[in-house]
Amino acid sequence: MGVAVLKLHEMFDRYPEKDFWLGDVFVAPECRGQGIGSALAMRIVEIAKSRGIGSLHLQTQNLNGGLYAKLGWEKMEQTHYKGYDALVMVKQLK
């Protein structure tokens, strides 16, 4: 149905000081609109909290934050990265 990953050092060349990232969130087209993406993202947040991680970052091509803004992620910076515009967001966990 879907997948999400707790990643180490995504966008390292741009943000080497930002260690932990939510990444590779994907929901199969036939399963979209059922809250699976939200559940996956929140599960990664729970896993990160259980490991004492203080903040998570993500990048999205949805420049208004989309789903992540609804889940409480804060906009940090809009940037151009590897040929596309991306919004970098953060969620404080502590």
Bridge partners of 77, per DSSP, are: 88
**DSSP code, position 9:** S
Residues 6+ apart with CB under 8 A from 46: none
Q: What is this structure's pTM?
A: 0.93
Q: What are phi and psi of 73, to 5 degrees?
A: -75, 145
Report yes or no: 24 and 6 within 8 Å, Cβ to Cβ.
no
- Quote the CA–CA distance of 69 and 93 in Å, as a whole number: 15
| Mean of the per-residue pLDDT values of the chain | 97
28-64 tens-digit pLDDT: 999 999 999 999 999 999 999 999 999 999 999 999 9
- Going from the N-terminus, what domains does the chain have, and what CATH number goes with each? 2-92 (3.40.630.30)
